[in-house]
């Protein structure tokens, strides 16, 4: 059997990440790690392990690149802003998401649906949504606020529908940005309100849907009532959006040049978002168990009850029949310094990255097999030469190598021992890299 030749990983051309640490734990001298005082929390939802706390998300993903955003390809950085509108209105320099009126109407309808599920009648729902989403005035209120004892409260007072930023008022919008007298969001800063980067998930308030705060507020007739979504003391914690809308057209503008008319037809209006979307971090079962068992930096809850390591091992084995095998391989490669990810899109168990997906392309596609000393076992896949050749060709076409990871268990290991993660201590590993034999290449090397 020929000895495998190591091929260096292919580094990505554009890297937007910084490498902090291979694990979300503190490092001591001589490369020894210790457990941090802070233990992250996750919960099992529909047989998936989800991390909701923004600080835990940042900790788990930034240090080791564990998991992926439920709306994103990797880093949880989902934003509701439409990229084309952000570019179009970049001259305004406002630190709020920019969305279309059509998308905003979708949010309104979703919020109405959630409220109706709580038993509220149509009249109450429509009246509340209308009041909640009315435009907010961001224009100057210096004279009003100077005479008032509560400047912030007056700056946040909803006003009659009017354009906040039009195409001809972008210079004025730049002046108003950041001024608490003119901009009710000026004191909150751009990092918290922006939805275009990773900092968006670091908000500390817990996500709540509009319907979660008014379960007992059903009324039979339309009467004035306190906002079931937002109380007076929570105004500053809500999310605001800029909605691109068409401005009202007046007969006086008939003689205006066509190019100016097109610009004036559109404006940005600041409104409160009735249906906020929060992105969470989803961990694979192997990643979740590694954080619990190997690092001890994560607690997993099911129905608000913390699960022990043995319970998790049993539960994950039921949810995913080959979990024991894939976790053994995951644990082995993580300890070797690789960052394993799910290899489903290439028909394998794992993909191995150096440092993490943001820095390098995957080097290996791994198939994990649990066998005995004679390399016999209940294979999860029944490979034929045809299927194996197809998988190998697919792997080679994406500049990766196909690796078989054989997890060899002792012949005297019982099923009872396999029911505990302590069986990992007795498992041996052998790696086999498969290459396609090319006759012409072999002859050239021999010559």
Residues with catalytic function = 353, 361, 400
8: left (phi over 0), alpha (psi -120 to 50) or beta: beta
CB 398 within 8 A of CB 346: yes
Q: State phi, psi for 438 to the nearest 5 degrees.
A: -115, 115
Edge to edge, the sheet with strand 48-51 lists 68-69, 281-283, 48-51, 40-45, 298-302, 305-306
Is 200:79 a contact under the CB 8 Å cutoff? yes
What region, left, alpha or beta, does residue 124 occupy, with left being phi > 0 and alpha being psi -120 to 50 degrees?
alpha
Distances (CA, A) of 65 to 21, 62, 316, 376, 410: 9, 6, 21, 34, 33
| Tokens, residue 13 | 């051309």
Which helix (H) or strand (E) segment is 269 a member of?
strand 266-272
The 3 state secondary structure assigned to 381-428 is CCCCHHHHHHHHHHHHHCCCEEEEEEEECCCCCCHHHHCCHHHHHHCE
- What are the φ and ψ backbone dihedral angles of 263, each rounded to 5 degrees? -70, -35
Q: Which residue has the tokens 């004279």?
A: 143
Q: Which residue has the tokens 């788990």?
A: 60
How many other C-beta atoms can be found within 10 angstroms of the C-beta atom of residue 416? Answer: 8
């Amino acid at each position: 059997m020929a000895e495998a030749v190591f091929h260096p990983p292919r580094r990505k051309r554009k890297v937007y990440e910084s490498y902090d640490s291979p694990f979300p734990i503190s490092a001591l001298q001589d490369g020894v790690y210790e457990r941090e005082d802070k233990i992250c929390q996750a919960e099992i939802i529909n047989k998936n392990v989800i991390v909701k706390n923004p600080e835990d998300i940042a900790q788990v993903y930034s240090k080791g690149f564990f998991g992926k955003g439920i709306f994103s390809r990797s880093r949880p950085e989902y934003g509701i802003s439409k990229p084309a509108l952000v570019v179009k209105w970049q001259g305004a320099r406002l630190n709020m998401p920019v969305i279309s009126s059509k998308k905003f109407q979708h949010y309104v309808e979703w919020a109405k649906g959630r409220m109706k599920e709580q038993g509220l009648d149509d009249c109450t729902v429509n009246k509340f949504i209308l009041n909640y989403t009315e435009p907010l005035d961001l224009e100057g209120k210096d004279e009003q606020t100077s005479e008032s004892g509560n400047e912030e409260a007056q700056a946040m007072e909803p006003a009659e529908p009017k354009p906040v930023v039009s195409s001809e008022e972008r210079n004025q919008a730049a002046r108003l940005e950041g001024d608490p007298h003119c901009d009710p969001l000026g004191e909150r800063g751009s990092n918290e309100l922006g939805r275009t980067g990773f900092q968006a998930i670091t908000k500390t308030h817990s996500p709540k849907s509009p319907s979660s705060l008014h379960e007992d507020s059903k009324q039979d007739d339309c009467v004035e009532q306190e906002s079931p979504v937002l109380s007076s003391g929570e105004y500053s914690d809500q999310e605001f959006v800029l909605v691109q809308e068409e401005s009202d057209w007046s007969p006086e503008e008939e003689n205006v040049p066509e190019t100016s008319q097109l610009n004036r037809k559109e404006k940005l209006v600041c409104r409160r978002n009735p249906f906020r979307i929060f992105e969470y971090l989803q961990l694979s079962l192997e990643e979740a168990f590694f954080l619990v068992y190997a690092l001890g930096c994560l607690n997993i809850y099911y129905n608000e009850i913390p699960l022990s390591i043995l319970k998790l091992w049993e539960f994950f084995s039921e949810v995913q029949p080959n979990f024991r095998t894939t976790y053994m391989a995951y644990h082995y490669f993580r300890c070797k310094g690789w960052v394993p990810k799910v290899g489903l899109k290439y028909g394998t168990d794992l993909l191995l990255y150096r440092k993490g997906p943001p820095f390098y392309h995957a080097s290996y596609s791994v198939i994990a097999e649990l066998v005995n000393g004679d390399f016999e076992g209940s294979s999860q896949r029944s490979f034929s030469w045809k299927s194996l050749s197809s998988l190998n060709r697919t792997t080679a076409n994406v500049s990766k190598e196909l690796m078989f990871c054989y997890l060899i268990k002792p012949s005297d290991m019982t099923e009872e021992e396999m029911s505990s993660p302590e069986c990992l201590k007795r498992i041996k590993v052998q790696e086999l890299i498969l290459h396609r034999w090319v006759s012409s290449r072999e002859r050239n090397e021999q010559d």
